[in-house]
Amino acid sequence: MPVIPSIHAPAACDGSHEMRIVLANRLYDGMKATIQASGEPEPATLSCKTTDIRFPLRQEAKYSEENLRAVLADPTLPYPARMGASLGLAWYDRLKISPTVDITSYRLGPATILHLPSEAFVEYQLFALSLRPNDFVAVAAYGELGTGYICTDKAFAEGGYEPTASLVGPPTETLLKAAIREVLNDNGNR
């Protein structure tokens, strides 16, 4: 264990401008001595793994491109309905240009960061943690918001708000978990 030098405040520590400079210098000297006492850090390895996923679209008629266009074109419908339709159409247009979404993981030394698209259910984070139970795994989502929520497959039968705000449907859960497994298992993890 490195020896960290102790810093004692001078007796005349009265908050005056002159003593603030003395205190700042003593803090700086203490930080510098602590860094020197800790030795050289071991270089961390950095790796990245990416895979693509092609999300299945919702099959219900109300999520069809034709229905979304009709909703958007109807000025008598409320704003939230028309806004939802425009978001759905933007997602469909995006898929025509690039039909897949990236799933990535970055490993820096002992830490792994998994990056998921959209508002993914917490079950996907728990799944990632179950794959690396002895490691630090952070999960960040909202990388691609076009899908809306990324629900578990059973959530569609359970109901609630999230499945109504999702443009992807079953078997999304199976596909996303396979992608998570791929980027976590092939990313230099122990």
- List the domain boundaries for the chain: 11-41, 46-60+100-185
Q: Give the whole-angstrom CA distance, residue 156 versus residue 170.
A: 8
**H-state helical runs in 44-171:** 65-73, 79-97, 122-131, 155-158, 161-164
The 3-state DSSP class for residue 100 equals coil
Task: Work out the mean pLDDT of the chain and round it to a whole number.
Answer: 88
Residue owning tokens 């995006």: 94
- CA distances, 27 to each of 15, 30, 139, 156 (Å): 15, 5, 36, 57
Whether residue 97 contacts residue 122, with contact meaning beta carbons closer than 8 Å, is answered with: no
Q: How confident is the model at residue 162 (pLDDT cuts 50, 70, 90)?
A: very high
77-107, pLDDT tens digit by residue? 999 999 999 999 999 999 999 999 999 999 9
Of the listed ranges 35-39, 53-57, 162-166, 179-183, the least confidently predicted one is 35-39
Share of the chain above pLDDT 90, in %: 68
Would you say the pTM of this structure is higher than 0.85? Answer: no
| End-to-end CA gap in the chain | 27
Whether residue 104 contacts residue 50, with contact meaning beta carbons closer than 8 Å, is answered with: yes
Of the listed ranges 5-14, 25-34, 77-86, 118-127, the least confidently predicted one is 5-14
Q: How confident is the model at residue 34 (pLDDT cuts 50, 70, 90)?
A: confident
Q: Give the whole-angstrom CA distance, residue 138 versus residue 145.
A: 19
Q: How confident is the model at residue 189 (pLDDT cuts 50, 70, 90)?
A: very low
